[in-house]
Amino acid sequence: MAACNHRLFWAGVIEGFYGAPWSMAERLEILDWMKAWGLNTYLYGPKDDLHHRTVWREPYAPDDAAELARLIAGCRGRGIEFLYAMGPGLDVRYSDPRELEALETRFAQLAELGCRNLCLLFDDIPDVLDPADLARWGSLAAAQCGLVNAVRDWMETHVPGGRLVFCPTPYCGRMAAAGHGGEGYLAAIGTGLHPDIDVFWTGPEIVSREITLGHVAELTALLRRPPLIWDNLHANDYDGRRFYCGPYSGRPPELRSKVRGILTNPNNEQPLNFVALRTLAAYVHAGDAWEPRAAYHAALAEWRPRFATRDREMDPADLVRLLDCYYLPHEEGPEAERLFADIRDLLARDPATWGAEASDARHRMCHLRDLCVRVAGIKDRPLFHAMGRRIWELREELDLLDRYVAWRQDPAKRGEPFRPDSHLLQVYRGGFVPRLQGLLEIRGDGAFVPAVGKGKGPS
Ligand code: GDL
C-alpha cells in the first residue's frame, strides 16, 4: 500500500452520507469486503445518526452503545482502524467551556467502547459566529482551532496514540474560493491547528471529477500538511434518482503519495457499493499505471454472480450494458453514452429518412429494457431492492422511446401525435418536485435560466 510518511495511509470507507444509516449487517459485510481487498479504515459518521450532529452532546443509550461496540470490535477483528465522527458545528458555542466537556464526555464513552480515533466535522454548517464566540475568538477558524486543539490535548492523556481528524467548514476548492468560513480561513487553520491533526478535503468540488497533483500541492502549502481525502465520487445522497457503479477514476496514482489517505463516502444503498470499494482498493494497491475501465471490468467479473436469477447467470456484456447507465456523476459509461447518442441523433432526423439504424436502436433499447425486467428476478433480493426503483424508471423510459420510434417508423401514423396509453399526463413524470425542476433550466455553461416565458415552462 502506498504510504506518504511514517503514518498509516488511511484507505477505506466513510459512512458519512445524509439518509438512513446502514444496518449493522450491512456494515459488517462492508468490513468483510474491506478486509478481503486491503482497505484499512472505516469512519462512522452518518449525518442522520442523531448523536452525530443533532444531539451530539448526548452519549448513546446502552443498547445503541452495545451496537457500536460490536462495530468497533468488528473493525478490530479484521485489522481495520475505526474512526468515530462528531459534527457539533450546527449549534456549538465555541466560547463556552461546557461544550468541550460535552465533547470529552462523548469521547470518553466511545473510548470505553474501544474507539481510539475521533473526527470533528464542521462541514455543512453556517459560517457565521455567535457574537460571544466572535468576541472570544475573533474568527471561525480560530474558534474551531481552539476547540479541536483542546480535544487533542484531552486525547493525549485519555486516549494516547489516538488520532484526530478535522473537517473544515470550506472543505473543497470552490467553497474556499467563494470565501466560505471568512477571509484567510484555510491559512488560519494551517497555522492554528496542531500539526498532528489531519484535515479532510473533498477536492476542487464537493463531488470532484478530478483531483490533480497541482490542486493538492497548493492546498498542502496552505494547510501545512497533506490533506486526507474525503471522496464523494460515488456519493448519491444528493440525488435519489441516481447511483454510481462506475470505477474509481480521475485521481492519478501519484496522488497516493501526496495525501494522508483516501476515504470514500459512497452510495447510500450499501449493496450498490461493490464496484466503488473494489476499484478504490485496486487503485490504492495498483502500481504506477491506473486503468479505471479495466478495473471496472475486473470488479464486475467478481460482482456478476450476485446478479444470477434462479435459472440463469447474468451475461458479462449485459452487466456492463446495465451498469454503464449508472456509472459516475460526471459521465455515463461508454455503452450508455453510445446508446444515448444514437437515439438522440435518430430523433433529430426526419423519420422518413430512417433506415436500418432505427430498427437497430429499437433492438438495443428493447434488449436493455428486457434486462431491467430480468434484474427484478435476481436471487440477491437486497441488491435488487437497492436498485429496483431506478431500474424500473430506466425500463419505463426505454419502453416509451421504443414505442415512439415504432410509431414514427409506421408510415400510416406519420404526422399523427404520439399519445401512448402507458404514459399519461400528470401521472407520468408528474409531482411537485419535477414541476419545480421545470421552472429553472440549467444551461450547458452551468447557468440557470427561467424556463417559463419561453413557452417551455410547466403549468
Ligand atoms: C457533503 C457532505 C457529505 C455528503 C456529501 C454528498 C462532506 C465533507 N460533507 O457535502 O456528508 O454525503 O456532501 O452529498 O462531503
Cell of 101: 466537556
- With the most atoms of ligand 1 within 8 angstroms of its CB, the residue from 234, 265, 328 to mutate is 265
Predicted local confidence at residue 414, as pLDDT: 82
Task: Give the CA angle between residues 102, 107, 108 to the nearest 5°.
Answer: 95
Percent of the chain with pLDDT over 70: 97
Residues 246 and 327 in one domain: no
**What CATH number corresponds to the domain at position 351?**
1.20.58.240
Is there a domain that residue 458 lies in? no
Nearest to 50 by CA among 70, 64, 62: 64
Residues 268 and 389 in one domain: no
- With the most atoms of ligand 1 within 8 angstroms of its CB, the residue from 17, 83, 125, 165 to mutate is 17
- With the most atoms of ligand 1 within 8 angstroms of its CB, the residue from 83, 124, 201, 234 to mutate is 124
Is there a domain that residue 419 lies in? no
* pTM score, whole prediction: 0.96
Residues 284 and 324 in one domain: no
pLDDT tens-digit map of 15-30: 999 999 999 999 999 9
**Rounded Cα–Cα distance for residues 369 and 397 (Å):** 9
Is there a domain that residue 311 lies in? no
352 Cβ neighbours under 8 A, 6+ residues apart: 414
Tell me, using a 6 A CB cutoff, whether residue 123 lines ligand 1.
Answer: yes
One-letter amino acid for residue 224 of the chain: R
Measured N-to-C along each axis, helices 334-348 and 381-409 cross at an angle, to the nearest 10 degrees, of 20
Residues 274 and 224 in one domain: yes
Q: Does position 4 have pLDDT exceeding 50, yes or no?
A: no
Pick the residue whose CA is nearest to atom 3 on ligand 1: 17
Residues 174 and 224 in one domain: yes
Residues 135 and 273 in one domain: yes
Overall average pLDDT of the 199-223 stretch = 98
Ligand 1: nearest atom to the Cα of 237: 14
pLDDT tens-digit map of 137-153: 999 999 999 999 999 99
Tell me, using a 6 A CB cutoff, whether residue 265 lines ligand 1.
Answer: yes
Residues 141 and 282 in one domain: yes
Q: What is the dihedral sign for C-alpha 245, 251, 256, 261? A: negative
Give me the domain span that covers residue 396: 316-411
Check if 421 is active-site.
Answer: no
> Across-strand partners of 263?
12, 230
245 in Cβ contact with 251 (< 8 Å) = no
CA of 16 to the centre of ligand 1 (A): 7
pLDDT tens-digit map of 313-330: 999 999 999 999 999 999
Residues 28 and 67 in one domain: yes
Predicted local confidence at residue 7, as pLDDT: 67
Tell me, using a 6 A CB cutoff, whether residue 47 lines ligand 1.
Answer: yes
pLDDT tens-digit map of 361-409: 999 999 999 999 999 999 999 999 999 999 999 999 999 999 999 999 9
365 in Cβ contact with 396 (< 8 Å) = no
pLDDT band at 89 (very low <50, low <70, confident <90, very high): very high
Pick the residue whose CA is nearest to atom 8 on ligand 1: 123
Ligand 1: nearest atom to the Cα of 16: 11
**Rounded Cα–Cα distance for residues 170 and 186 (Å):** 8
- Number of separate domains in the chain: 2
Pick the residue whose CA is nearest to atom 10 on ligand 1: 206
Average pLDDT value for the chain: 96
Q: 3-class SS at 165?
A: strand
Pick the residue whose CA is nearest to atom 1 on ligand 1: 206
178 in Cβ contact with 218 (< 8 Å) = no
Is there a domain that residue 393 lies in? yes
pLDDT tens-digit map of 236-261: 999 999 999 999 999 999 999 999 99
Is there a domain that residue 43 lies in? yes
Nearest to 234 by CA among 167, 337, 320, 327: 327
Cell of 70: 460490536
Overall average pLDDT of the 338-343 stretch = 98
Is there a domain that residue 212 lies in? yes
Q: What is the dihedral sign for C-alpha 17, 20, 22, 24? A: positive
Tell me, using a 6 A CB cutoff, whether residue 237 lines ligand 1.
Answer: yes
Q: Does position 457 have pLDDT exceeding 80, yes or no?
A: no
Residues 389 and 263 in one domain: no
Which of the following is catalytic: 32, 48, 91, 124?
124
Residues 161 and 279 in one domain: yes
**What CATH number corresponds to the domain at position 250?**
3.20.20.80
